[in-house]
């Protein structure tokens, strides 16, 4: 095997290019924070919260430590209690289910659609029972699920809807932002997300002022003023450094998402009709954030190896569904004996490189190498 020079490598994501382009803006923001020496919450985080709420089209954003905490705080805030059931999918990142279990509740996993790999809404409706307190709808890969439909099913039954929008910053459903249509939307600013901090950070968005106030208190030790604690909260505050960095990056998000969609469209044009390969299609009337570009193929692991030999890094989101993870053994409520679409997806999904700075030439090289790998495979 010949050794590739690093310039020939195509990574799954490349954050260095983004940070090089923003270097002077980021330096200024960091120096503002050091000058103020106000390192936790404070002015920068408040300003980011205001700007992110406006971006999402909601009344309030509350910054917190990370996306997993955002989900846990959201479940707590809508009243999920030990013994309650929360409907969600198994085909997602572990944090979605973890947050439910950490609230003492029981996840009830339902299967996904083969076409978009998002929660199957007819199965979701069948899974509702008297113990169901909430639904966590995941906009996986940045493909936005039909939240309006979920809300209309849930509301009449007194069930709360939480959006896991950790992969969907800036995506829309019927022209409205992901995160803005449920009772609460949860975001992660993990560095590799469409809007990423330089460390861990997260946020909840909502137009429910009462709920926002409770979460604001809960993330800061249940504090009411400096020395009074109204209830047992926790420490999940956003750092000022992250707030300042996120304010800068938020101004570029729409442009970055637009480029991600161009890249995805370019992949689709070259791969849509390729035999042996199935795309993951965004639902109609939605605009995906294109966090990940995922294809479904039979000989996934062989194709991955072949791409790696051509200097192309890929990912698998996710190879083991939550109901098959040892962490969740005995902690979930299976709706069916198995989740066939979820299990098939886990063995077939492959995430191709996508990031705003990726060139058209790199996209074409990935598409061609994948096509070659499948033809040979």
Ligand X SMILES: *Cc1c(COP(=O)(O)O)cnc(C)c1O
Q: Closest CB to ligand X among 70 and 373?
A: 70
Q: Which of 113, 167, 194, 314 binds ligand X (CB under 6 A)?
A: 167
The stretch near ligand X (CB under 6 A) out of 65-73, 101-109, 111-119, 293-301 is 65-73
Least distance from ligand X to the Cβ atom of residue 68, Å: 3
The stretch near ligand X (CB under 6 A) out of 13-21, 66-74, 148-156, 368-376 is 66-74
Least distance from ligand X to the Cβ atom of residue 187, Å: 8
Residues within window 259-318 making contact with ligand X, judged by CB under 6 A: none
Tokens, residue 291:
């966090």
Q: Which of 188, 206, 289, 296 binds ligand X (CB under 6 A)?
A: 188
Least distance from ligand X to the Cβ atom of residue 186, Å: 7
Least distance from ligand X to the Cβ atom of residue 94, Å: 8
Q: Distance (Å, rounded) from C-alpha 105 to C-alpha 332? A: 9
Least distance from ligand X to the Cβ atom of residue 163, Å: 10
Q: Closest CB to ligand X among 280 and 370?
A: 280
Q: Give how far Cα 47 sits from Cα of 43, 63, 135, 187, 248, Å.
A: 6, 10, 30, 17, 11
Least distance from ligand X to the Cβ atom of residue 120, Å: 17
Given a contact cutoff of 8 angstroms between Cβ atoms, the answer to whether 157 and 210 are in contact is: no
Q: Distance (Å, rounded) from C-alpha 205 to C-alpha 27? A: 28
Of 87, 58, 28, the residue nearest 334 (C-alpha): 87
Least distance from ligand X to the Cβ atom of residue 8, Å: 29
DSSP letters, 89-105, are ESSS-HHHHHHHHHTT-
Task: Count CB-CB contacts under 10 A for residue 207.
Answer: 16
Given a contact cutoff of 8 angstroms between Cβ atoms, the answer to whether 125 and 151 are in contact is: no
Query: What is the number of the residue whose Cβ is closest to ligand X?
Result: 67
Is 166 a residue that touches ligand X (CB under 6 A)?
yes
The stretch near ligand X (CB under 6 A) out of 63-71, 113-121, 275-283, 323-331 is 63-71
Phi first, then psi, for residue 81 (nearest 5°) are -125, 160
Q: Closest CB to ligand X among 92 and 180?
A: 92
Q: Which of 202, 243, 282, 288 binds ligand X (CB under 6 A)?
A: 202
Is 92 a residue that touches ligand X (CB under 6 A)?
yes
Phi first, then psi, for residue 365 (nearest 5°) are -65, -40
Is 138 a residue that touches ligand X (CB under 6 A)?
yes
Is 171 a residue that touches ligand X (CB under 6 A)?
no
Q: Distance (Å, rounded) from C-alpha 97 to C-alpha 352? A: 25
Q: How buried is residue 156: exposed, middle or buried, by Cβ count under 10 Å (0-12/13-18/19+)?
A: exposed
Q: Which of 164, 183, 220, 287 binds ligand X (CB under 6 A)?
A: 164
Is 342 a residue that touches ligand X (CB under 6 A)?
no
Given a contact cutoff of 8 angstroms between Cβ atoms, the answer to whether 261 and 234 are in contact is: no
Strand, helix or coil for residue 223: strand
Q: Closest CB to ligand X among 69 and 85?
A: 69
Least distance from ligand X to the Cβ atom of residue 273, Å: 30
Residues within window 17-56 making contact with ligand X, judged by CB under 6 A: none
* Sheet bearing 85-89, strands edge to edge: 60-64, 202-206, 184-188, 160-164, 132-138, 85-89, 106-110
Given a contact cutoff of 8 angstroms between Cβ atoms, the answer to whether 179 and 147 are in contact is: no
The stretch near ligand X (CB under 6 A) out of 93-101, 223-231, 329-337, 357-365 is 93-101
Phi first, then psi, for residue 305 (nearest 5°) are -65, -45
Q: Which of 73, 77, 95, 215 binds ligand X (CB under 6 A)?
A: 95
Least distance from ligand X to the Cβ atom of residue 3, Å: 34
Of 60, 19, 323, the residue nearest 214 (C-alpha): 60
What is the contact surface with ligand X in residues (CB under 6 A)? 66-68, 92-93, 95-96, 138, 164, 166-167, 188, 190, 200, 202
């Amino acid at each position: 095997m010949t050794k590739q020079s690093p310039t020939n490598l195509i990574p799954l994501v490349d954050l260095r290019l983004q940070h090089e382009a923003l270097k002077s803006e980021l330096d200024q923001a960091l120096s503002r924070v050091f000058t103020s020496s106000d390192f936790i919450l404070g002015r920068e985080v408040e300003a980011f919260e205001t700007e992110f709420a406006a971006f999402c089209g909601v009344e309030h954003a509350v910054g917190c430590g990370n996306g997993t905490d955002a989900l846990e705080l959201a479940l707590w805030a809508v009243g999920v209690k030990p013994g309650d059931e929360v409907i969600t999918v198994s085909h997602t990142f572990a944090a979605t289910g973890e947050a439910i279990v950490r609230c003492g509740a029981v996840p009830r996993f339902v299967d996904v659609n083969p076409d978009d790999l998002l929660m199957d809404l007819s199965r979701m409706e069948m899974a509702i029972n008297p113990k169901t307190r909430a639904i966590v709808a995941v906009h996986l890969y940045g493909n936005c699920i039909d939240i309006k439909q979920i809300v209309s099913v849930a509301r009449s039954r007194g069930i709360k809807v939480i959006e896991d929008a950790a992969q969907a910053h800036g995506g829309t459903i019927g022209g409205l932002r992901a995160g803005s249509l449920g009772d609460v939307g949860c975001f992660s600013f993990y560095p590799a997300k469409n809007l990423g901090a330089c460390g861990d950070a997260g946020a909840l968005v909502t137009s429910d002022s009462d709920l926002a106030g409770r979460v604001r208190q809960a993330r800061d030790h249940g504090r009411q003023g400096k020395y009074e604690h109204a209830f047992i909260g926790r420490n999940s505050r956003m750092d000022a450094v992250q707030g300042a960095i996120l304010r800068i990056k938020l101004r570029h998000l729409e442009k970055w998402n637009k480029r991600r969609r161009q890249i995805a469209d370019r992949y689709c044009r070259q791969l849509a009709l390729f035999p042996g390969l199935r795309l993951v299609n965004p639902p109609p009337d939605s605009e995906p954030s294109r966090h990940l570009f995922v294809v479904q193929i039979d000989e996934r692991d062989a194709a991955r190896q072949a791409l790696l030999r051509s200097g192309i890094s890929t990912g698998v989101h996710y190879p083991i569904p939550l109901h098959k993870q040892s962490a969740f053994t005995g902690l979930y409520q299976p709706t069916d004996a198995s989740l066939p679409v979820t299990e098939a997806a886990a063995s077939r999904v492959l995430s191709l490189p996508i990031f705003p700075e990726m060139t058209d030439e790199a996209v074409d090289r990935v598409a061609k190498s994948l096509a070659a790998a499948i033809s040979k495979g």
